[in-house]
Structure 1
């Protein structure tokens, strides 16, 4: 009876917590304050406050810091967006793991319900056997058998007793095993629930970091005049072109590399998304982040792959750059925080970062970590 009460309580607890931890549960994150807008034509950086007397090493006023160059501002903005993209991978992985754990909790809850139903059935059968013995006068079958004078009845009774004893042992063994399974399912559900909640927390923290980094980058860009923003784009393109030229000069590419049928299908899908905006955490159809694009493209081609660029790098087979073929994935940066799909001739299709759209660019325009093949 104690075990049944424990099992019933476990079922109620797991079912209630599972409902609370369903994938649709929303987590509110504090809004990230945005700096006030600065009118066009304002300085690139806020004016430093007037120094107070005695701030310098000899009591003289401290000179204001030199304004940053546009190229330094470009690197600062790129760094902030890189941190946002890296946090996006953390968010996506936590989200994927939470969804899997929620599914496993649901399956365990179903097993618990079935296990309890099995226990109830076994107890009913045990009760029926007890009632049958009571109705026979309360004497054990062995005692009743010894009172008979008929040899044939004795032999038949002995056989029935043997079968009955085996059935009783089987019944008790089934009951014991089912109770043990029920306790194991309850413990597993509790473990998955703790992991689920931990991943929900990771999601919320990653979302706050993403929002903060994007807001900081947008604030810097917002201080720039129109001509400065145009100049910034030009500097970005020139830096990418220099990196691509150097990479093409040294990369041992196969000019005649051809894609597999699945690779060609993945490339076709990814190129069809050109022009759609980058949105962190998005995997289509209207917008994508970098790994959302590559994972959706390969899923459409019939080959499901991990959702995040870091898991794609960790789990998929690695290939040498010289063996690269269209459809392969190029992983970028030391933390594997960005991914693009190789389309041939030294070019990738990718979803770059917030504020940009799915586009074609040079495969060597960013720091390559390695290449993987789905």
Structure 2
């Protein structure tokens, strides 16, 4: 990352962190274990208290739980969709093999029929009879040699016919098995979609029941929680040790991801108008010429792990113990990510959510 860009990001993150605690609408909804809603010295007067009986911290916790559940279900949906694509491609491949195999079998049967017809035309006489009927022993020997060659060819032809038939039967069995897997995948995808919609509907209903001042207060609590988490992460001194330089592919991935800032989150989406968290990271790396797994959980499983202190721009930061969220590190302690429904692609502090680990898509 060049000096001007590094300075720009550092300044942007500092300003955002100071004013909105890296959690403006569209930022991560991470929450510390005991957020302190009290204003800091010099801050504006607190908003009106919530409606009696409503615990906004409990509301925040419930929203976090619902949206986390939706994120896990989104990973399930994306994984089922990816498998369905692979299974469909395998079915197409097998179908082509079956078509080619049937054509090969047809030609082999034609050859076998021609061989049988030729034998019939020859009268099917044994070599001894040909010897008796032939005036020239050399002619007989030549004929006998051709007969032996014909027998070998016929035997080979019948063997190839058998193998081709067996191959066709195996292709048909494999295609049937893939169809069963595809159907199971469709059911898993439908179940995941139902879970996503239920969790989001509950969250939206809960938010809709809040008064305007309560929603503002809730946003304030989110900002405070994010600020505390990021501050604690920075206070660990980790940023002092992170000085990795982006690879050329990493720079391309970062450029793509940051160009999507402001676009809405949509579960199951991978652009170009909307994204979910892993849709953003996978497409960013695709634009850089590197295909990576579609889901955050598979990105965590299959990509190379690196120590947090060794991460560099373009690396993926995986969050929560179940690897249900991912963002892309862009340098200066910040990530770009697609947070959750109702938010947009944005820059946030890398430490605003519990970090599971870091993975590196490219080998450079």
Distance 2:54 2:220 in 1: 17
- Give a deviation string over 1:165-215, Cα, whole Å, max 9, x none: 221121011111101111111111111111100000000000000000000
- Counterpart in the other structure of 1:85: 71
**Given that residues 318 and 371 in structure 1 are in contact (C-alpha distance below 8 angstroms), is that contact kept between their aligned partners in structure 2?**
yes
> Could you tell me which of 260, 263, 267 is aligned with 2:250?
263
- Counterpart in the other structure of 1:274: 261
Query: Is it true that 1:107 corresponds to 2:90 in the alignment?
Result: no
Query: Is it true that 1:362 corresponds to 2:353 in the alignment?
Result: no
Query: Is it true that 1:316 corresponds to 2:303 in the alignment?
Result: yes
> SS at 1:372's partner residue?
strand
Uncovered stretches (5+) of structure 2, i.e. residues with no partner: 1-47
- Give a deviation string over 1:319-356, Cα, whole Å, max 9, x none: 00111000000001111110000001110000000000
Offset at residue 140 of structure 1 (A):
4.4
Query: Taking structure 1 as reference, are residues 160 and 295 closer, same or farther at Cα in structure 2, changes over 3 Å only?
Result: same
**Given that residues 145 and 157 in structure 1 are in contact (C-alpha distance below 8 angstroms), is that contact kept between their aligned partners in structure 2?**
no
- Counterpart in the other structure of 2:140: 154
Distance 1:308 1:142 in 2: 75
> What stretches of structure 1 move > 4 A for 4+ residues in a row?
140-143
- Counterpart in the other structure of 1:116: 102
**Given that residues 251 and 322 in structure 1 are in contact (C-alpha distance below 8 angstroms), is that contact kept between their aligned partners in structure 2?**
no
- Counterpart in the other structure of 1:330: 317
Query: Taking structure 1 as reference, are residues 145 and 286 closer, same or farther at Cα in structure 2, changes over 3 Å only?
Result: farther
Alignment RMSD? 1.6
- Counterpart in the other structure of 1:71: 57
- Give a deviation string over 1:34-92, Cα, whole Å, max 9, x none: xxxxxxx9x96xxxxxxxxxxxxxxxxxxxxx934111101101110110011000000
> SS at 2:274's partner residue?
coil
> SS at 2:244's partner residue?
coil
- Counterpart in the other structure of 1:297: 284
**Given that residues 270 and 349 in structure 1 are in contact (C-alpha distance below 8 angstroms), is that contact kept between their aligned partners in structure 2?**
yes
Moved more, 195-204 or 158-167: 158-167
Offset at residue 133 of structure 1 (A):
1.7
Higher RCO (CA < 8 A, seq sep 6+): 2
Query: Is it true that 1:244 corresponds to 2:230 in the alignment?
Result: yes
- Counterpart in the other structure of 1:352: 339
Moved more, 261-270 or 146-155: 146-155
Map 1:62-211 → 2, pairs under 5 A? 67-140=53-126, 143-145=129-131, 147-211=133-197
- Give a deviation string over 1:92-146, Cα, whole Å, max 9, x none: 0000100110110011011111111111111111111111122222424664355
**Given that residues 277 and 325 in structure 2 are in contact (C-alpha distance below 8 angstroms), is that contact kept between their aligned partners in structure 1?**
yes
- Give a deviation string over 1:235-266, Cα, whole Å, max 9, x none: 11110110011011115333432100000110
Query: Taking structure 1 as reference, are residues 305 and 151 closer, same or farther at Cα in structure 2, changes over 3 Å only?
Result: same
> SS at 1:117's partner residue?
helix
Map 1:25-64 → 2, pairs under 5 A? none
> SS at 1:259's partner residue?
coil
Query: Is it true that 1:342 corresponds to 2:329 in the alignment?
Result: yes
- Counterpart in the other structure of 2:29: none
Uncovered stretches (5+) of structure 1, i.e. residues with no partner: 1-40, 45-65
Distance 1:325 1:121 in 2: 59
- Counterpart in the other structure of 1:12: none
- Counterpart in the other structure of 1:34: none
Offset at residue 229 of structure 1 (A):
0.6
